[in-house]
Amino acid sequence: MTATIDMSRARIRIKMCGITRMADAAAAVAAGVDALGFIFFEKSPRYISPEAARLIIEQLPPFVDAVGVFVDKKNDEVDEIIQYCRLGYVQLHGAESPKYCEHLVRFASPCQVIKAFRVGGHTSGDEFAVYAPHVKGFLLDTFRPDQVGGTGTSFDWSIVADLNLQKPFILAGGLDVNNIAAAIQAVRPYGVDVSSGVERQPGIKDHRLIREFVSAVRDFDSPGR
């Protein structure tokens, strides 16, 4: 009989995305964030160059993961940034195929792959199944036809129960201090991903909101929850 890991009682992981400044990375680490996201998609208002990202990542302490966010970038370009920035994870927000993910797992090891999906009324569990053998987990964001992510809006969380996900998933999409408790209660994700919900403006984080967001998530790690 194969042993499995029960993640139902696992501490909720927190990723803060859209890091562009060392000061914001330091504030997130001090607050207890588990992972920082660096967006290598030039059209994003939170874009950061590999050179600037590397300077921040080099200063991160142990057990804080660096996640590179990509949108339909060529495999070899992603490989190069993974090695240059020493990324622990890549998060794919485009139309990357299962074969694309398999390539990254095979050739960019030990970097792990997270596939992002934009969730809406049209979303089916079958979309996830073909990716499951090639990724470490899924990120659930809000569907907007004109955006690949970072919408700042939430989706109908009740959809998640019907997706029958076979991998750990990270909840994203318009999360902030005001709705994070309801979001966790509704879907019990492995992790949560916040960006605009802790910002003063795109790419510039509010350190007070970071602390409050982390504190709200940690309330669910208390005994008896």
Catalytic residue positions, numbered: 17, 141
| Residue in this structure with the two tokens 């802790």, named with its chain if needed | 198
Rg of the chain (C-alpha set): 16
Q: What is the CB neighbour count within 10 angstroms for residue 195? A: 27
